[in-house]
Amino acid sequence: MAAADRDPTEPWWKAAVVYQIYPRSFADADGDGVGDLQGIRSKLPHLEWLGVDALWLSPFYRSPMADFGYDVSDYCDVDPIFGTLADFDELVADAHARGIRVIVDWVPNHTSDQHPWFVESRSSRESAKRDWYVWRDRTPDGAPPNNWVQTWTDGEPAWTVDPQTDQWYLHLFLPEQPDLNWRNPEVRAAMADVLRFWLDRGVDGFRMDVLHALGKDPDLADDPAELIPIPHSALNHHESTHEIVRELRSVLEEYDGDRMMVAEIFLLDTELVASYYDGGAGVHLAFNFPPLFAPWAARPWAVRIDEVARMIEPQGWPSWVLSNHDQPRHRTRYGSEARARAAAVLLLGLKGTPFLYAGEELGLEDAVVPEDRVVDPGGRDGCRAPIPWTVEGDHGWGRAEGLDTPWLPWPPDAAERSAEALRADEGSILHLYRRLLAARRASTALRLGDQAMVDAPDDVLAWDRTGAGGDRRRVIVNFGSSTVDVSTLVEGWAVEVASADGALGTDGALAADAAVLLRPT
Ligand code: NOJ
């Protein structure tokens, strides 16, 4: 059944499972050691087999790559390292033909310092684009305009003096990533046109980078001293952002087909994240990162699940994510494959739209990156290791002459964890993900149903999902390191998917670090 026919009255993104692709690391069609759009296209049959509904592509736009694409120098073109606009069109057409939607990353807070807008802005204080960025005069004491700090540094100011015009410019990230001035209507119009450029090309939506940071305090007031050491926790979050979000939403609504936005709100506070839904007028989905930072333990997860129900649900539809290109993979954080498997049942059993990060379905760990191969200014190379596709040789990555490795080292056990090896093994974590995705597709309770927690022993969380037509599922996760008797919880239920073979004994004992998805008997 086509996705659109499964839930005709609901927007597609509520029931979808979204799969994040970091293009540099996914698949390499031209053998230069960096992944590309044709590489992604060549893996669509595999992604269809896996059963994902949508792809989110991290940036593939023209970029000097100071932040590997999150520093954009042309929002409306593909960087030659990834291919061409024609490759992009082919990728979208092929994905759509397979019933897979495509959302792209939009980086509105800052451009590259090589973007023609910034080149013009910095050229003179009188430039027509001067006010497109945030410039401030130098003061006699030499101090930066305020106490805002630059990400990935130990308190370096978020300001750099540009020698050409002897003024400070603002950059919440690298000096090569100057912040746009979203108070300027010309900036808003130009960036709305970027959205239209991609909407016209048929994309189904956008992942919006650091959306909470767009609205800046007009006075650029100092951040409260006690908050400065907490990265992004309440900083760079200003009321005026909500108006911008509503405007962006109206751009999407110029188009048919439920085009959507999912916002990166990197505020480690679920109540603040919820505010960006704006009761239905704001974002369609927001990433809520506190669960990603929760340890593998029942109590912290119970708190996070409860917060989402209380704070997000009254405003909109939740989303769930355990890994992405900015954080150590959850397989690495949680420390074992058993936990990564149980986490898959957790993620795909919760109410909300799940986001998978390419490679988690292979149970990949972060690569260990030797010092001489570190390339990321933010220390995130490990989770960006290339995906191993085949067992032998270069794991499916071509090798141009003179090149002996892709742009980053392989993750541990690349041969054993390659897609080829795990596809041949029905018991693998890859097949577990596939079974879970198939179970979601087949169950309205899992896709769209309500959620109610069920009393469970210590170390265990259990909940019911109830959907249209009385469809029901139960999920039980044992976060503990001992077997737990859950016999009372499984009466009247049968295992639909287990995190590992024999996870639930016939005596009702659920193994350590194991989880089951149950359907009524
Ligand atoms: C969040 C992105 O996920 C990250 O990779 C990037 O470095 C920053 N935003 C800056 O764009």
Domains along the chain?
3-110+185-438 (3.20.20.80), 116-170 (3.90.400.10), 450-520 (2.60.40.1180)
Distance CA 55, CA 34 (A): 19
**What pLDDT, on the 0 to 100 scale, is given for residue 2?**
66
Q: Could you write out the DSSP letters of every residue in 347-386?
A: HHHSSSEEEEETTGGGTPPPPP--GGG---TTS--GGGPP
Q: How far is the CA of 44 from the centre of ligand 1 (A)?
A: 26
Pocket test for ligand 1, best of 112, 177, 264, 326 (most atoms within 8 A of CB): 326
Q: How far is the CA of 363 from the centre of ligand 1 (A)?
A: 24
Pocket test for ligand 1, best of 63, 75, 210, 384 (most atoms within 8 A of CB): 210
**What pLDDT, on the 0 to 100 scale, is given for residue 227?**
73
**Pairing status of strand 159-162 against strand 353-357:** unpaired
What count of other Cβ atoms lies within 10 Å of the Cβ of residue 219? 7
Please state at what angle helix 185-200 crosses helix 240-252, rounded to 10 degrees: 30
Residue of minimum CA distance from atom 6 in ligand 1: 70
**What pLDDT, on the 0 to 100 scale, is given for residue 19?**
99
What count of other Cβ atoms lies within 10 Å of the Cβ of residue 115? 24
DSSP state of 213: G
Q: How far is the CA of 324 from the centre of ligand 1 (A)?
A: 11
Atom of ligand 1 nearest to the CA of 110: 11
Look up residue 357 and give its two tokens: 């990060």
Distance CA 43, CA 52 (A): 12
Q: Which residues of the chain have pLDDT under 50?
A: none
**What pLDDT, on the 0 to 100 scale, is given for residue 398?**
74
User: Judging by beta carbons within 10 Å of its beta carbon (0-12, 13-18, 19+), is residue 288 exposed, middle or buried?
Assistant: buried
Residue numbers annotated as active site: 209, 254
* Amino acid, single-letter form, for residue 183: R
Distance CA 497, CA 500 (A): 9
**What pLDDT, on the 0 to 100 scale, is given for residue 225?**
78
Q: Residues lining ligand 1, CB < 6 A? A: 67, 70, 107, 173, 209-210, 264, 325-326
**What pLDDT, on the 0 to 100 scale, is given for residue 1?**
64
Residue of minimum CA distance from atom 10 in ligand 1: 70
**What pLDDT, on the 0 to 100 scale, is given for residue 403?**
78
Atom of ligand 1 nearest to the CA of 326: 5
**What pLDDT, on the 0 to 100 scale, is given for residue 393?**
86
- Report pLDDT digits (tens) over 178-197: 999 999 999 999 999 999 99
User: Judging by beta carbons within 10 Å of its beta carbon (0-12, 13-18, 19+), is residue 393 exposed, middle or buried?
Assistant: exposed
Q: Could you tell me which residues come within 8 angstroms of residue 180 by beta carbon, excluding any fewer than 6 positions away?
A: 108, 109, 110, 111, 117, 132, 133, 187, 191
Q: Which residues pair with 493 in a beta bridge?
A: 520
Distance CA 396, CA 282 (A): 42
Residue whose token pair is 């539809």: 317
Q: How far is the CA of 264 from the centre of ligand 1 (A)?
A: 9
CA distances from 109 to 132, 134, 172, 339, 388 (A): 11, 11, 9, 36, 33
- Report pLDDT digits (tens) over 331-351: 999 999 999 999 999 999 999
Q: How far is the CA of 61 from the centre of ligand 1 (A)?
A: 14
Pocket test for ligand 1, best of 56, 60, 67 (most atoms within 8 A of CB): 67
Look up residue 95 and give its two tokens: 């994905």
- Among residues 21, 4, 154, the alpha carbon closest in space to that of 88 is found at 21
Residue of minimum CA distance from atom 2 in ligand 1: 209
Look up residue 92 and give its two tokens: 């979208």
